[in-house]
Amino acid sequence: MQLPDFPAETQEYAVTSRPRATALIGILFLLIATFAPVSGWSQHLFGRELGPNYSREVLWWLLTFGVYAYVFLVERRPLDSIGFRRPSVVDIVLAVITGVLMVAGIIVIYSVVFPLLHFQINMHEANALQHTPFLYRLLLVTRAAVAEETLFRGYPIERLKEWTGSRFIAGAVSVAAFT
C-alpha cells in the first residue's frame, strides 16, 4: 500500500479542491458521532452478542478511526491537520496539573455540591460500572479521551474554521454537538 503524498506547506494546510464537499462530509461524521452511539444503531450493526456497552464502544472506535482514515486517505492530509502533535514537556506538566485539579474538583462536587443541592449518586449505575471488567473500563476512559477529542474538537473545529473562516463559529458548533 502506497501512502499518500502530503502537501509541502509549513504550518497551514491547503483546503482541498472541494472544501464544501469535504466540510459537509465532516459535518456528517460529526452528526453520526453525536447521535449514533445513543440511538441504538450500534446494537443493530453489531447485534446483541456484544451487549449494549461493548457494541457502543466498538461503534465509537469505528467512527474515530473512520475520521482518521478520511483525513489521511481522502483529504490527503497528515493527522496534525486535526491537532495531533507530539506533546512537549510543558504539555505534559499542564496535563498532570489539569488531572490533579480535575480530581480535586470531582471531590468537591461529590462531597460539597451534591449534598448542598440534595443530589445523590446513582449507586445502581456506579455499582454496575464497577462490576464491568477492568479492561472495559480502561478502554472506556481511553475511548472517551481519544474519540471525543477527535470527533468533537479536532476534526470539526479545524474543518469548520477552514470552511467558515471563524474559530468562534467552529467552536460553537462543536460545543453544541458535544453537549
Q: In the predicted model, what is the mean pLDDT of residues 12-30?
A: 57
Say how many C-beta atoms besides its own lie within 10 A of residue 69's C-beta: 10
What's residue 100's pLDDT?
A: 96
Q: What is the pLDDT of residues 68-106, one digit of tens each?
A: 988 888 888 998 888 888 889 999 999 999 999 999 999
Model confidence at 24: pLDDT above 70: no
User: What's the pLDDT score for residue 144?
Assistant: 86
Q: Which one is predicted more confidently, 56 or 107?
A: 107
pLDDT of residue 46 exceeding 50: no
Cα–Cα distance measured from residue 137 to residue 131, given in angstroms and rounded to the nearest whole number:
10
What pLDDT was estimated at residue 58?
Answer: 80
- % pLDDT > 90, the chain: 17
pLDDT of the residue at 160: 87
What is the rounded distance in angstroms from the CA atom of residue 30 to the CA atom of residue 177?
A: 7
Phi, psi of 72 (to 5 degrees): -75, -45
Rounded CA separation 66/86 (Å): 22
What average pLDDT does range 41-70 have in this prediction? 68
Mean pLDDT confidence for 54-60 = 78
Burial of residue 154 (CB within 10 Å: 0-12, 13-18, 19+) is: buried
Confidence bin at 22 (pLDDT 50/70/90): low
